[in-house]
C-alpha cells in the first residue's frame, strides 16, 4: 500500500537558529548557539548562524515556496531569545511580530502552523544562571510558553514544546558537541529532568491561554535500539532506558523507569526530582512527534577487545551515553548518508509499531526525517539528488507499512525545507529539498522538492 489516509498531514520542517539569521537585530538576545558558533574551533569552517538562510528577511519568498510545494503544514521553531531576550521578563514586541507575520502568512496560504517552542537556542543569560541543569530554567520555559500562547495561541494549530531533549541534555551537557559544550554527566541527567518538567509545565501554561484548543505535542528523537545478538539484551535495555524511556517515562507515564535510576546511580541520586515533578511532566498530549534518521546497534562489551563507539561520539568522559561503559555502539552496514548515518528505514516501521503498542491512544507524527548528501548543481542548473529521493521514498514506504500494521500516524515532515546551518557541521551538510546558495541566498528546487510536491498532491507514493 503506498497511499496515505485522507487526512494525512504533509509538511516540511526548519528551526530558528538554522535558518533565520538576523542574530542581533530587532532586540534579539544572544543564545547558547551564538556563543557556541562564535567560539573558534567548535563549528566546521568557523560557520555561524549569524546570517544562515536569511529567512528573517526572506519570509515571503520562503512562504511562497511552501505554498508551491503544496504542503498542508509547516514546522518552524520560535527563537526564545528573539521574543524574550534574556529568557525572562516582558516580550520583545519586534520578535513576536516576526512570528505573528509568519503564522499569518502560513494561514493565508492554507498551511497549518506547527510551532516548536525550543529547538536548542536557550537564552545565554539562562545558561549563565546554570542552564537546563537548574530547576529555574524549567520555570522560565513555562513562562515563555505562556507568553507565546497569549501572542499566537489563537492561530497555531500544533504546539511542540521541545525538540529532541535527548540532544539538549546529552549533547549539550555530557558530550559537549552541542551548545553549551559542557561535559558534566550529572548535570546532563539534571538537564534531562528539567527538560521533562519544563515540557509538562509548558503544556499546562499553554492550556491556560488562547492555545487551549490547539494540539499539544513534543518531539523526541527516539532511538530504535537493536542488539547484535540475543546476548546483548541488557545493552539494548540500558541504551533504551537512557535515550528513550528517560523521556517517555515521565512525559507519558508520570514516572522515571526504575532501571534508569539504578543504571545511573554512580552518577547521580536524582534528588533534583521533587515530589510532584513526574506528575507535572505527564500532561495529556494530542500527538507525539517522532524524529527518525537511522537505527542504533549495540553489543554488550566483553571488557577485553577494543570498544566500538560507532555512533559518532567519543568514548570516555565525553560520551553522551552516560553509564553505558559496558555498551558498544556497533557500526551498521551501509549505504550511508553524508552524515555517516546508515540508511535503514525498517527501524522507522519498527519504532512506530512499538510506540503504537506501548501508547495505543496517542497518535504519532513524523516531525523530522531526511538526509544530507553532497548535492551537485548540474550544468543545466538542475540538482539531481536521486539519493535523497530514494531515502524519502524508502522512509515514506516504511510509514505506510507501520500504518498497515495498525500505527496511528497522522503526518510527515521532511527535514528540511532548505539547506541550513547544521549545528556543529555548519553549512557543510545539506539536508534541504530546496538548495540554498550560501553566498547569494538563491533558492533552487532540487529534484527531491519536485518529487515531494507530486507526492503531496497525489497523497501517495509513485509506482
Ligand atoms: C535533528 C535536529 C535538526 C537537524 C537534523 C538533521 O537532530 O532536530 O535540527 O539538525 O537533526
As for ligand 1, residues whose beta carbon falls within 6 Å of it are 15, 18, 163-164, 167, 221, 291, 368, 415, 422-423, 431
Question: Mean pLDDT in the chain?
Answer: 97
- Nearest Cα residue to 420 out of 140, 118, 24, 37: 37
For residue 33, the model assigns a pLDDT of 99
For residue 463, the model assigns a pLDDT of 80
- Nearest Cα residue to 122 out of 76, 162, 87: 87
Ligand 1 atom nearest to CA at 423: 10
Residue 257: is its pLDDT beyond 80? Answer: yes
Residue 119 annotated as lining a ligand binding site: yes
Residue 283 annotated as lining a ligand binding site: no
Residue 132 annotated as lining a ligand binding site: no
Of the residues 52, 311, 320, 422, which should be mutated to test ligand 1's pocket, given the most ligand atoms within 8 Å of the CB?
422
State the cell numbers at 121: 537556542
Residue 217: is its pLDDT beyond 60? Answer: yes
- The mean pLDDT of 287-302, rounded to a whole number, is 97
For residue 457, the model assigns a pLDDT of 98
For residue 132, the 8-state DSSP code is T
For residue 310, the model assigns a pLDDT of 78
Rounded CA separation 106/431 (Å): 22
Residue 317: is its pLDDT beyond 80? Answer: no
Task: For 382-433, write each residue's pLDDT tens digit.
Answer: 999 999 999 999 999 999 999 999 999 999 999 999 999 999 999 999 999 9
Task: For 139-187, write each residue's pLDDT tens digit.
Answer: 999 999 999 999 999 999 999 999 999 999 999 999 999 999 999 999 9
- How far lies 153's CA from each of 97, 115, 158, 258, in Å? 14, 10, 9, 37
For residue 431, the model assigns a pLDDT of 99
Domains of the chain: 2-461 (3.20.20.80)
Task: For 27-76, write each residue's pLDDT tens digit.
Answer: 999 999 999 999 999 999 999 999 999 999 999 999 999 999 999 999 99
Of the residues 18, 415, 431, which should be mutated to test ligand 1's pocket, given the most ligand atoms within 8 Å of the CB?
415
Rounded CA separation 198/387 (Å): 39
Task: Report CA(431)–ligand 1 centroid distance (Å).
Answer: 9
For residue 306, the model assigns a pLDDT of 85
Which residue's CA lies nearest to atom 4 of ligand 1? 422
- For 224-238, b/e burial (b = at least 16 CB within 10 A) is bbbbeeeebeebbbb
Rounded CA separation 397/7 (Å): 17
Instruction: Indicate which residues carry an active-site annotation.
Output: 164, 368
Task: Report CA(348)–ligand 1 centroid distance (Å).
Answer: 16
- Reduced to 3 states (helix: H, G, I; strand: E, B; else coil), residue 303 is coil
pTM given for the model: 0.98
Task: Report CA(314)–ligand 1 centroid distance (Å).
Answer: 19
Which of the four pLDDT bands, split at 50, 70 and 90, describes residue 194?
Answer: very high
For residue 313, the model assigns a pLDDT of 64
For residue 312, the model assigns a pLDDT of 56
Task: Report CA(339)–ligand 1 centroid distance (Å).
Answer: 11
Residue 422 annotated as lining a ligand binding site: yes
- The mean pLDDT of 353-373, rounded to a whole number, is 98
Strands (E), 242-380: 287-291, 296-300, 327-329, 364-368
For residue 316, the model assigns a pLDDT of 56
Question: CB-based contacts of 112: which residues, under 8 Å, 6+ apart?
Answer: 9, 11, 72, 73, 74, 106, 157, 158
Amino acid at each position: 500500500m503506498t497511499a496515505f489516509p485522507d487526512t494525512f498531514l504533509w509538511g516540511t520542517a526548519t528551526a530558528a537558529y538554522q535558518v533565520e539569521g538576523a542574530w542581533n537585530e530587532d532586540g534579539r538576545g544572544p543564545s547558547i548557539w551564538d556563543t557556541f558558533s562564535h567560539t573558534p574551533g567548535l563549528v566546521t569552517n568557523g560557520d555561524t548562524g549569524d546570517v544562515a538562510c536569511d529567512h528573517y528577511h526572506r519570509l515571503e519568498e520562503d512562504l511562497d515556496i511552501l505554498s508551491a510545494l503544496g504542503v498542508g503544514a509547516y514546522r518552524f521553531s520560535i527563537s526564545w531569545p528573539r521574543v524574550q531576550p534574556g529568557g525572562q521578563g516582558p516580550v520583545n514586541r519586534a520578535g513576536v511580530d516576526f512570528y505573528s507575520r509568519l503564522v499569518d502568512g502560513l494561514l493565508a496560504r492554507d498551511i497549518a502552523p506547527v510551532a516548536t517552542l525550543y529547538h536548542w537556542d536557550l537564552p545565554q543569560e539562562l545558561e549563565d544562571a546554570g542552564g537546563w541543569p537548574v530547576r529555574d530554567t524549567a520555570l522560565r520555559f513555562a513562562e515563555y510558553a505562556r507568553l507565546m500562547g497569549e501572542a499566537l495561541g489563537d492561530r497555531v494549530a500544533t504546539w511542540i514544546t521541545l525538540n529532541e531533549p535527548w540532544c539538549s541534555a546529552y549533547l549539550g551537557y555530557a558530550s559537549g558537541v552541542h551548545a553549551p559544550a559542557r561535559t558534566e554527566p550529572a548535570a546532563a541527567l539534571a538537564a534531562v529532568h528539567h527538560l521533562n518538567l519544563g515540557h509538562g509545565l509548558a503544556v499546562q501554561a499553554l492550556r491556560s491561554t488562547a492555545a487551549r484548543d490547539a494540539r499539544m505535542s513534543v518531539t523526541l528523537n527516539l532511538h530504535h535500539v537493536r542488539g547484535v545478538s540475543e546476548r546483548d539484551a541488557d545493552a539494548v535495555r540500558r541504551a533504551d532506558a537512557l535515550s528513550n524511556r528517560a523521556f517517555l517515562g515521565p512525559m507519558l507515564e508520570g514516572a522515571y523507569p526504575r532501571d534508569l535510576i539504578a543504571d545511573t546511580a554512580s552518577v547521580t541520586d536524582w534528588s533534583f526530582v521533587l515530589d510532584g515533578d513526574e506528575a507535572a511532566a505527564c500532561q495529556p498530549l494530542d500527538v507525539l512527534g517522532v524524529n527518525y534518521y537511522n537505527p542504533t546497534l549495540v553489543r554488550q562489551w566483553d571488557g577485553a577487545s577494543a570498544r566500538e563507539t560507532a555512533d559518532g561520539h567519543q568514548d570516555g568522559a565525553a560520551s553522551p551515553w552516560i553509564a553505558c561503559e559496558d555498551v558498544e555502539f556497533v557500526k551498521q552496514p551501509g549505504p550511508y548518508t553524508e552524515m555517516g548515518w546508515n540508511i535503514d528505514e525498517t527501524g522507522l516501521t519498527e519504532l512506530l509499531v512499538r510506540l503504537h503498542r506501548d501508547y495505543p491512544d496517542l497518535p504519532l507524527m513524523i516531525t523530522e526525517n531526511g538526509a544530507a548528501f553532497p548535492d551537485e548543481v548540474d550544468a543545466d542548473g538542475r540538482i539531481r539528488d536521486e539519493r535523497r529521493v530514494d531515502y524519502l521514498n524508502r522512509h515514506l514506504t516504511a510509514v505506510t507499512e507501520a500504518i498497515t500494521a495498525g500505527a496511528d500516524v497522522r503526518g510527515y515532515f521532511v527535514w528540511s525545507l532548505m539547506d541550513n546551518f547544521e549545528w556543529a557541521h555548519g553549512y557543510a551538510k545539506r539536508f534541504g529539498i530546496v538548495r540554498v546558495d550560501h553566498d547569494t541566498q538563491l533558492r533552487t528546487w532540487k529534484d527531491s522538492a519536485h518529487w515531494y510536491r507530486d507526492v503531496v498532491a497525489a497523497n501517495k507514493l509513485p509506482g
